[in-house]
């Protein structure tokens, strides 16, 4: 399990007035092995590299970003449920192998009703037949598949554009 959280602050070192906008990035099973696991499919970029790039971009936009990876379905569900009470306004998720198997993870996302983008490093639609179905896509704001680590960056840019407008109350 990887947890990375850094609060973005104003020049005074305190959180900016009005509270920070918050994005949660969730990574499913085996993504902790990025960079070494089947690099011909998933690339050589590590999960730490992906998080650092996203964190840098989010910080520049004045947004707090938290990254959470787990190989455990229950831990991912608990993290999603916790997001509902923490002011998380957007989720970027790569459910990895749970994409094709986890109704429980889907139900957690539906229950919290936080908008999310589903990201996949590989193009799941051009892979084995069992990988072509996602339990999340119909709930997602969008799906980015097959663009490698750049998919995370594109999802983040979309989330940041959504934040450029006024806050909405759920």
Dump pLDDT digits (tens) for 23-36: 999 999 999 998 88
Element (H, E) at 48: helix 47-60
Yes or no: say if 119 and 27 are a contact pair by the CB < 8 Å rule.
Answer: no
Structure tokens at 20: 């920070």
Q: How far apart are CA 41 and CA 162, in angstroms?
A: 31
Yes or no: say if 95 and 29 are a contact pair by the CB < 8 Å rule.
Answer: no
Least confident of 24-33, 37-46, 51-60, 118-127: 37-46
How far apart, in Å, are the Cα atoms of 67 and each of 41, 93, 94, 122?
Answer: 22, 10, 11, 20
Structure tokens at 65: 């970003």
How far apart, in Å, are the Cα atoms of 40 and each of 30, 34, 81, 128, 148?
Answer: 15, 11, 34, 15, 11
Q: Which CATH class is domain 24-63+73-112+119-162?
A: alpha beta
Instruction: List phi, psi (to 5°) of 14.
Output: -100, 155
More confident residue, 168 or 69: 69
Query: Has this prediction a pTM greater than 0.85?
Result: no
83-106 pLDDT, tens digit per residue, is 999 999 999 999 999 998 899 999
* pLDDT score, position 125: 79
Q: Token pair 């509270």 is at which residue?
A: 19
What residue segments make up the domains of the chain, in order of their start?
24-63+73-112+119-162
Catalytic residues, which ones?
42, 120
Please tell me what DSSP assigns to residue 132: S
Structure tokens at 132: 């072509």
């Amino acid at each position: 399990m990887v947890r990375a959280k850094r609060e973005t602050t104003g020049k005074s070192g305190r959180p900016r007035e009005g509270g920070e906008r918050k994005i949660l990035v969730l990574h499913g099973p085996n993504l902790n092995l990025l960079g070494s696991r089947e690099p011909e499919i998933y690339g050589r970029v590590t999960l730490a590299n992906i998080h650092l790039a996203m964190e840098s971009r989010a910080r520049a936009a004045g947004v707090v970003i938290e990254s959470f990876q787990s190989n455990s379905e229950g831990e991912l569900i608990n993290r999603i449920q916790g997001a509902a009470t923490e002011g998380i306004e957007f989720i970027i998720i790569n459910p990895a192998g749970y994409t094709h198997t986890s109704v429980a993870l889907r139900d957690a996302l539906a229950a919290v009703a936080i908008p999310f983008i589903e990201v996949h490093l590989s193009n799941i639609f051009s892979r084995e037949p069992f990988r072509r179905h996602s339990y999340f896509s119909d709930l997602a704001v969008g799906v980015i598949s097959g663009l490698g680590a750049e998919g995370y960056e594109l999802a983040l840019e979309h989330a940041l554009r959504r934040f450029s407008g006024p806050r909405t109350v759920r």
